[in-house]
Structure 1
């Protein structure tokens, strides 16, 4: 977990209002009594999913954890321990038959005493079998640690979950492509994930959802051992419904609670989900239900891990990925394809990349909404400037020329609706300088 927000994390445990959503019973209620999202999320037991759940076991998880913690140990970014961990992860992915690469990055990681550090993320890709399913599913965690700790839970638990999920899922074929990614530089300021997401965004890679796991191995009571906390972006409700239905259908019987709903515009983030959400991607972060007082200390060692709980948190993520990887998405999706984030733009042309996410836009700009239809036809796309509805488009291409007089920061938002009333949203913050409006 990112060091600079550890205090915020602790305070949030006390101050956040967490509401518990009861997992549905195994008996399915009549369809007319269910919401349309619950109907869409029905998961019928499947032999492939059952096999995946069984293959993720304590032996598998412990083997990865013991090597990472006992053989490698501290993995502070920029040290040999971190580099050794990246090599180990790369070799594991390679042995699974996945397409593997190092994603190199460099950054000045200490503001008070800037030090240029070069490190690498490790990405493994499992190619989907159907080119029509062009959006990818990402599961990531950070393999680096804070100084002076082996980081068994933070975030050895997430790293081991990524490795275990990759090991099992790589044994099957899926329609969609999956990416398994481990980041360095998280503890110093999310540097590895920020560099990775910027590349992903500039390559215009469509992402169905990103799963982040950071601290998923602690449960000291039976009550905490049956709960998982989630933080998520606004359009992932249908995926969470699948997770809830799956836990019951396959006998895991966990309860999910909402940790928080992600605000894309907060100036600081808790973990590697944050760069994804800032660039408009949908994200679900998985957290243990119990706070861990051992974070960033020598006490965060292998004795801090409840392996049975870690196995089950990993199972929930892997099984949900497997379901998503083969299913037709029933709800609409939308992304602001223009203007682009992190740019200086004039006359609707990109002039320069910046280190910021908020784009500087000079003169008018065309807002173009890239819409993916679910199972129902698209009804309309609405374009907002702040909270003001500017335009409603009912035909492709879905676009609006923004030419308002402005000097300042604004949010632009697009909302798509299908004929059944299902909706999806994308929004971005811009610095808009536009004097001429003709």
Structure 2
């Protein structure tokens, strides 16, 4: 690394550097439309129930009618893609399991894949939400289960993202999916994640949106339209027994790939979406519960859950009724569409930056030959794309977010910061200025 850059690091002027917003990403974010979101949720509610075990042959009611409508929306938007968006229904006949499936049923995920423009770029980024809904009894497939927020709000984010980004030409690919079977034990997401694993696809990020539209707490009535939670695992679920000793020895308990993705979401969202803060939650999901991203976590893919700051249990998993002058049920009237719009905008900003970024640097390593109060990192160019350069990131070990950032066009850097006190990472920067997800270094041999 050049001595001049080293001096800049010491003075910390480069540490304060801010990346500018990408005009194309800004344009996409500005296109998120509140009326569109209302129309999507209104249509989903009109299917009566979207329970996974509901009718699969009624053209107007039930899960089959709902997923056919999502497929139609995807096909409408595919017309904008110049033939690059493939739309399909991923189906599987599943049998009773003695738990939450008591009859054979056709399970279907509505999927749209927007193929990247660079044939050498195999990266895939996925946004999902679950289409199925439920009431108090998880096996009740006949009562009206509006599912406006759980998870009509998440599916509305998927559909709106597909509408807007179908017009893009990103080097990497994006999958848009409305899962079925979430309430019956994550069945649809298991089906898709296992397919992606079998086919050895390069899935690098999963954004699972589940309940992102209701900002009001049930017990206290508090309202928070400024915060969106992002849940991420710390210790990686897959192959933890093989990785645990190295993670402990290096102090990387807070630096899984999913957690790097969560930090990335925070940085990008707060740059592009006014009035929205990302709250990093150091759990894979809410306490003792799970969501569709967990199916991908289990298979080793970086995956997070995006969800509102408060859950309102009066309007989640409830029969629609009035008791003591209080309305229960997951109805559209309890959605704050301005809050929902901000949360959908966050997804669009993150997906666009990810898909426009250059793939990750290869063989990011830290030299440990000598005990010093400085740190030397080196890496190799990414497999696809031509980056404009790289950001080298640093944060104190107790900091939840990256605190220091420098830019270099080289493939190594010496930083006057101690490995005892800081965690480091390297991320690519594309020619259009879009950063990739940071990569934590390994130990150089």
TM-score > 0.5 by shorter chain: yes
Q: Counterpart of 1:324?
A: 354
**CA distance in 2: counterparts of 1:118 and 1:422, whole angstroms:** 40
Q: Counterpart of 1:228?
A: 228
Q: Report the alpha carbon displacement of residue 247 of structure 1 after superposing the two structures with TM.
A: 3.3
Q: Counterpart of 2:77?
A: 96
Q: Report the alpha carbon displacement of residue 72 of structure 1 after superposing the two structures with TM.
A: 1.3
**CA distance in 2: counterparts of 1:223 and 1:33, whole angstroms:** 36
**Contact between 2:273 and 2:342, CA under 8 Å: does it hold in 1?**
no
**CA distance in 1: counterparts of 2:69 and 2:274, whole angstroms:** 31
Q: Are residues 1:50 and 2:21 paired?
A: no
**CA distance in 1: counterparts of 2:157 and 2:87, whole angstroms:** 17
Q: Report the alpha carbon displacement of residue 109 of structure 1 after superposing the two structures with TM.
A: 4.8
**Contact between 1:43 and 1:245, CA under 8 Å: does it hold in 2?**
no
Aligned length: 312
**CA distance in 1: counterparts of 2:201 and 2:98, whole angstroms:** 32
Q: Report the alpha carbon displacement of residue 108 of structure 1 after superposing the two structures with TM.
A: 3.4
Q: Counterpart of 2:331?
A: 301
Q: Are residues 1:67 and 2:67 paired?
A: no
State which of 153, 156, 167 in structure 2 corresponds to 1:157.
153
Q: Note closer, same or farther for the CA distance 1:95–1:424 as it changes in structure 2 (3 Å cut).
A: farther
**Contact between 2:273 and 2:346, CA under 8 Å: does it hold in 1?**
no
**CA distance in 2: counterparts of 1:109 and 1:331, whole angstroms:** 46
Q: Note closer, same or farther for the CA distance 1:108–1:175 as it changes in structure 2 (3 Å cut).
A: same
**Contact between 2:231 and 2:262, CA under 8 Å: does it hold in 1?**
no
Q: Note closer, same or farther for the CA distance 1:320–1:312 as it changes in structure 2 (3 Å cut).
A: same
**CA distance in 2: counterparts of 1:295 and 1:277, whole angstroms:** 25
State which of 261, 271, 276 in structure 2 corresponds to 1:254.
276
**CA distance in 1: counterparts of 2:331 and 2:293, whole angstroms:** 24
**CA distance in 2: counterparts of 1:333 and 1:277, whole angstroms:** 23
**CA distance in 1: counterparts of 2:441 and 2:72, whole angstroms:** 39
**Contact between 2:262 and 2:280, CA under 8 Å: does it hold in 1?**
no
**CA distance in 1: counterparts of 2:209 and 2:363, whole angstroms:** 24
TM-score (norm 1): 0.65
Q: Report the alpha carbon displacement of residue 174 of structure 1 after superposing the two structures with TM.
A: 0.8
**CA distance in 1: counterparts of 2:184 and 2:178, whole angstroms:** 15
TM-score (norm 2): 0.64
Q: Counterpart of 2:262?
A: 240
State which of 92, 110, 124 in structure 2 corresponds to 1:122.
110
Q: Report the alpha carbon displacement of residue 199 of structure 1 after superposing the two structures with TM.
A: 0.9
Q: Report the alpha carbon displacement of residue 323 of structure 1 after superposing the two structures with TM.
A: 0.5
State which of 193, 201, 219 in structure 1 corresponds to 2:189.
193
The secondary structure found in structure 1 opposite 2:183 is: helix
**CA distance in 2: counterparts of 1:189 and 1:231, whole angstroms:** 19
State which of 293, 296, 301 in structure 2 corresponds to 1:276.
296
Q: Note closer, same or farther for the CA distance 1:109–1:309 as it changes in structure 2 (3 Å cut).
A: farther
The secondary structure found in structure 1 opposite 2:229 is: strand
Mind listing any 5+ residue stretches in structure 2 that lack a counterpart? Answer: 1-10, 56-61, 79-84, 135-139, 234-255, 321-328, 365-380, 391-424, 429-437
**CA distance in 2: counterparts of 1:251 and 1:214, whole angstroms:** 19
**CA distance in 1: counterparts of 2:348 and 2:295, whole angstroms:** 22
Q: Are residues 1:108 and 2:108 paired?
A: no
Q: Report the alpha carbon displacement of residue 330 of structure 1 after superposing the two structures with TM.
A: 4.4
**CA distance in 1: counterparts of 2:273 and 2:426, whole angstroms:** 34
Q: Note closer, same or farther for the CA distance 1:418–1:124 as it changes in structure 2 (3 Å cut).
A: closer
State which of 282, 285, 290 in structure 1 corresponds to 2:305.
285
The secondary structure found in structure 1 opposite 2:21 is: coil
**Contact between 1:107 and 1:191, CA under 8 Å: does it hold in 2?**
no
Mind listing any 5+ residue stretches in structure 1 that lack a counterpart? Answer: 1-28, 335-370, 377-416, 426-438
**Contact between 2:272 and 2:349, CA under 8 Å: does it hold in 1?**
no
Q: Report the alpha carbon displacement of residue 422 of structure 1 after superposing the two structures with TM.
A: 5.0
Q: Counterpart of 1:84?
A: 65
**CA distance in 2: counterparts of 1:232 and 1:419, whole angstroms:** 19
> Which structure shows the bigger proportion of residues in strand conformation?
1
Q: Note closer, same or farther for the CA distance 1:191–1:124 as it changes in structure 2 (3 Å cut).
A: same
Q: Report the alpha carbon displacement of residue 171 of structure 1 after superposing the two structures with TM.
A: 1.4
**CA distance in 2: counterparts of 1:330 and 1:419, whole angstroms:** 7
Q: Report the alpha carbon displacement of residue 269 of structure 1 after superposing the two structures with TM.
A: 5.4
**Contact between 1:247 and 1:253, CA under 8 Å: does it hold in 2?**
no
**CA distance in 1: counterparts of 2:439 and 2:23, whole angstroms:** 31
Q: Note closer, same or farther for the CA distance 1:307–1:250 as it changes in structure 2 (3 Å cut).
A: same
